Amino acid sequence: MDIRQIRHFVAVAEELHFGRAAERLGMTQPPLSQSIQALEADLGLTLFERTRRSVMLTPVGQEWLPHARRVLEEANALPQVAQRLSRGEVGTIRLSFISFVSYSFLPALVRRFKERFPEVELVLHEATSDVQIAELLEGKLDAGIIITPPRGALHSPLRYRAIEREKLVVAVPEEWVISGRVVPQGGKLDFNALCDLPVILFPRQSAPALHDLVTRYFAERDAVPVAGQQAVQMQTIINLVSAGLGIAFVPSTMRRLVRPGVAYFRVAEKQPEIEIGFAWRSANASAALHHLADIIVEMFPEHGA
């Protein structure tokens, strides 16, 4: 069975006359009759009841007709769909992101993209940077918003563009501030007020850049962070801080996650920073994905490729 036979079936079903259907299709009647017979043989059933004076659809033929029309409509639309796909007006982008950007620029990015390309489906999925990179390399993702990994961790077929840099702040159990265990000065915390407190960290495997940034911050001050609980989601880390299990260095945008029992402070010294970037598969990237990358450049023009 092919699209030509379906077109022949619909013409005969609508005309209920082989001669008129053949004329409509611009062909002679014998090959049209042979096409319908071959279609019925392929299906193993009868679509038309034929007499010398009339042609009628069988019950199966009547019920099959709307399905056949739908197939023809979709087939006729295929050239237009191909053109729209080539222009990035339709399609699907599988985009993953690190959790905390949902509190910063991600909603604005999605809104701007959907305003311009409403028929492109953005399939959003939250994941840590290591998971995203692995899934990008495996072809399970089209693009990811990640914490910039150590040099050499991103390689072909992936491309990368920096989006922004974000300073880290310290999330502290509020009860420690009330009790005087942690004493801020002018809304900031001196390192000496932190160095003996348990630190809740991302596992290095999940976020090596963030993990190393915190441990290097301590090392530069001739200290080692007191090991606390580890967690892989920012929301979980904030909840652990709220429970009094330790302090945590988190992106400043996490201040927007209002959690009872948590206070946020800048450090008195130079604040550590992380870089957030956009990684995508360069091979066979769709036009829609290029549009998304262009919008990121538009939103963050100060960062180079």
Q: What is the DSSP string of 242-269?
A: HTTS-BEEEEGGGGGS--TTEEEEEESS
The angle at the Cα of 18, spanning 12 to 21, to the nearest 5 degrees, equals 55
Q: Are residues 79 and 141 in the same domain?
A: no
Q: How many CB atoms lie within 10 A of CB 108?
A: 11
Q: Are residues 20 and 70 in the same domain?
A: yes
Supply the mean pLDDT for the chain.
90
Q: What is the pLDDT of residue 164?
A: 92
Q: Is residue 305 part of a domain?
A: no
> Which residue type sits at 37?
Q
Q: Are residues 158 and 282 in the same domain?
A: yes
- The percentage of the chain sitting over the pLDDT mark of 90, rounded to a whole number, equals 65
Q: Are residues 172 and 144 in the same domain?
A: no
Q: Are residues 269 and 171 in the same domain?
A: yes
Q: Is residue 304 part of a domain?
A: no
Q: Are residues 159 and 174 in the same domain?
A: no
Taking the C-alpha atoms of residue 302 and residue 305, their distance in angstroms, rounded to an integer, is 10
Q: Is residue 184 part of a domain?
A: yes
**Inter-residue contact 205 to 130 (CB < 8 Å):** yes
pLDDT in tens, 213-228: 999 999 999 999 898 8
Residue 101 pairs in a beta bridge with: none
Q: What is the pLDDT of residue 283?
A: 77
pLDDT at 241 over 80: yes
Taking the C-alpha atoms of residue 280 and residue 293, their distance in angstroms, rounded to an integer, is 9
**Inter-residue contact 198 to 245 (CB < 8 Å):** yes
Q: Are residues 205 and 248 in the same domain?
A: yes
Query: What is the domain range of residue 268?
Result: 167-273
Q: How would residue 203 be classed by pLDDT, with cut points 50, 70 and 90?
A: confident
**Inter-residue contact 261 to 125 (CB < 8 Å):** no
Number of domains in the chain: 3
Q: Are residues 228 and 279 in the same domain?
A: no
- Whichever domain contains 223, its CATH number is 3.40.190.10
Q: What is the pLDDT of residue 305?
A: 45
In Å, how far from its chain's centre is CA 131? 13
**Of 86, 119, 136, at which residue does a domain stop?**
86
**Inter-residue contact 232 to 128 (CB < 8 Å):** yes
Compute the CA torsion angle 268, 274, 275, 276 (nearest 10 deg). -120
Phi, psi of 87 (to 5 degrees): -95, 0
Taking the C-alpha atoms of residue 252 and residue 265, their distance in angstroms, rounded to an integer, is 9
Query: Higher model confidence: residue 257 or residue 243?
Result: 243
Q: Are residues 188 and 66 in the same domain?
A: no
Compute the CA torsion angle 264, 268, 269, 270 (nearest 10 deg). 50
Q: For residue 132, what are the CA distances in angstroms to 152, 173, 202?
A: 16, 31, 16
- The percentage of the chain sitting over the pLDDT mark of 70, rounded to a whole number, equals 97
Q: Are residues 173 and 156 in the same domain?
A: no
Span 260-289, average pLDDT: 90
Q: Is residue 241 part of a domain?
A: yes
Q: What is the pLDDT of residue 152?
A: 61
pLDDT at 281 over 90: no
Q: Are residues 156 and 192 in the same domain?
A: no
pLDDT in tens, 73-99: 988 888 887 887 778 888 899 999 998
Q: Are residues 153 and 173 in the same domain?
A: no
**Of 50, 65, 86, at which residue does a domain stop?**
86
Q: What is the DSSP string of 132-187?
A: HHHHHHHTS-SEEEEEPPSTTSS-TTEEEEEEEEEEEEEEEEHHHHHHTSS--BTT
* Nearest one of 249, 277, 236 to 150, comparing CA atoms: 277
Q: Is residue 97 part of a domain?
A: yes
pLDDT in tens, 111-158: 999 999 999 999 999 998 889 999 998 989 999 999 987 666 676 688
Q: How many CB atoms lie within 10 A of CB 251?
A: 22
pLDDT in tens, 29-80: 999 999 999 999 999 999 999 988 899 999 999 999 999 999 999 888 888 8
**Of 34, 54, 86, at which residue does a domain stop?**
86
- Whichever domain contains 47, its CATH number is 1.10.10.10
Taking the C-alpha atoms of residue 294 and residue 275, their distance in angstroms, rounded to an integer, is 19
pLDDT at 188 over 70: yes
pLDDT in tens, 230-239: 888 888 999 9
Query: Higher model confidence: residue 281 or residue 93?
Result: 93
* Nearest one of 187, 231, 197, 190 to 211, comparing CA atoms: 231
Q: Structure tokens of 255?
A: 């201040």
